Structure 1
């Protein structure tokens, strides 16, 4: 009986991995569709700035300057708060999924069916400050 539990558990994991990898097909540079209503954004975060702002959009990442020091998770909290403000969503819809201790971060944004790569790109581009 224990063997069947283990095999069904591993099957679920394999199935879940396949679903995630097969849905990650739509991409527009640093912004990718994870699933319907969820996107991931690749960021290059520069903490310690005078003010939080989007600095650039390249083929690999969105450059973000953050007005918080890179210690005790302060910059990560500000990244989530700043992106939620720009993307016009709740803070609970924005989460850092990789790069918690790195300048290179991947952020997940959940926003329902209205969320699209084009909308996110438009909101980020309209907030670029040089």
Structure 2
């Protein structure tokens, strides 16, 4: 099977993948805002205070990917705009979601 081809996504096992994110907290609305420097740009309505933005990011991703929040792990970037999130879904499932939100 061919790789899905998103620069922000890579497989980390048969049922795991890693999503590279560029997050902008304090936005008016939460949502995807395209790609930025090889990462998926996400604008978050939550402020970057006391982990609120990270918590909202994981909750939003869980809703978008239709998986439990426990299936998402923040690997890197707790206090940074650049983040890596491990997703307990096959790479193809996340690539399909990226196709839907980035190429409507």
- Report the TM range for the smaller structure's normalisation: 0.7 to 0.9
Contact 2:32–2:41 under 8 Å retained in 1: yes
Unmatched segments (≥5 aa) in structure 2? none
State the Cα distance separating 1:97 from its structure 2 match. Answer: 0.3
**Structure with the larger RCO, 1 or 2 (CA within 8 Å, 6+ apart):** 2
- Report the count of equivalent residues: 100
CA distance in 2: counterparts of 1:54 and 1:127, whole angstroms = 7
More off after superposition, 99-108 vs 58-67: 58-67
Greater radius of gyration (CA): 1
CA distance in 2: counterparts of 1:60 and 1:42, whole angstroms = 8
Out of 43, 53, 63, the position equivalent to 1:65 is 43
TM-score by length of 2: 0.86
Change (3 A) 1:121 1:102: same
CA distance in 1: counterparts of 2:32 and 2:21, whole angstroms = 10
Contact 2:22–2:36 under 8 Å retained in 1: no
RMSD: 2.1
Helix, strand or coil at the partner of 1:35: coil
More off after superposition, 100-109 vs 58-67: 58-67
Helix, strand or coil at the partner of 1:43: strand
TM-score by length of 1: 0.70
For 2:97, the equivalent position in structure 1 comes to 123
Helix, strand or coil at the partner of 1:126: helix
Unmatched segments (≥5 aa) in structure 1? 1-25
The structure with the greater share of residues assigned to helix is: 1
